[in-house]
Amino acid sequence: MNTRNTTSPIPAVGYAGDVSPELAWQWVQSGEAVLVDVRSDAEREWVGYVPGAAPLAWKQWPGMAMNPSFDEAIQSAVPKGQKAVLLCRSGIRSIAAAKRATELGLQAYNILEGFEGDADSNGHRGLLAGWRQRGLPWQQK
């Protein structure tokens, strides 16, 4: 998915909306939002992470079991009055996490394209779109 609208959220059902990686980063830099990386610990460790993001798995590897600490942890990570922008691998798991965060009373947004973007015709991620491909801050251990 190639994000076209980088200046305003796209309305969504069940959560505040979808935002481009660039808009999410603008909000984080301005102090309007907290970036919550909902990928598994293994994904962040092996693929890379965004410095300063709250590392909070929605589901945990192996087995991709639900994180029983998610509710409490996201409420602690996002101060009242700030938005939560949620990042996963491709922008799918973060929708479910944004819906749950919304149920908990947070203003939660899904970051379109995720960290790695969609897979290309060879099944490779990180080449078509996503946080990394767009040149936003990230590191790898």
Supply the CATH number for residue 49's domain: 3.40.250.10
Does residue 56 lie within any of the structural domains? yes
Q: pLDDT tens for residues 73-127?
A: 999 999 999 999 999 999 899 999 999 999 999 999 999 999 998 888 888 777 7
Does residue 128 lie within any of the structural domains? no
Does residue 82 lie within any of the structural domains? yes
Residue 61 has pLDDT above 60, yes or no: yes
Does residue 46 lie within any of the structural domains? yes
Does residue 25 lie within any of the structural domains? yes
Q: CA-to-CA distance for 111 and 113, rounded, in angstroms?
A: 7
For residue 1, what pLDDT is reported?
Answer: 44
Does residue 96 lie within any of the structural domains? yes
For residue 5, what pLDDT is reported?
Answer: 57
Long-range contacts of 50-54 (CB under 8 A, 24+ apart): 50/87, 50/115, 50/131, 50/136, 50/137, 50/138, 50/139, 51/137, 51/138, 51/139, 52/28, 53/87, 54/78
What range defines the domain where residue 104 resides?
Answer: 17-111
- What's the predicted TM-score (pTM) here? 0.92
Does residue 3 lie within any of the structural domains? no
For residue 4, what pLDDT is reported?
Answer: 52
Does residue 62 lie within any of the structural domains? yes
Please tell me the total count of domains within the chain: 1
Q: What 3-state class would DSSP assign to 46?
A: helix
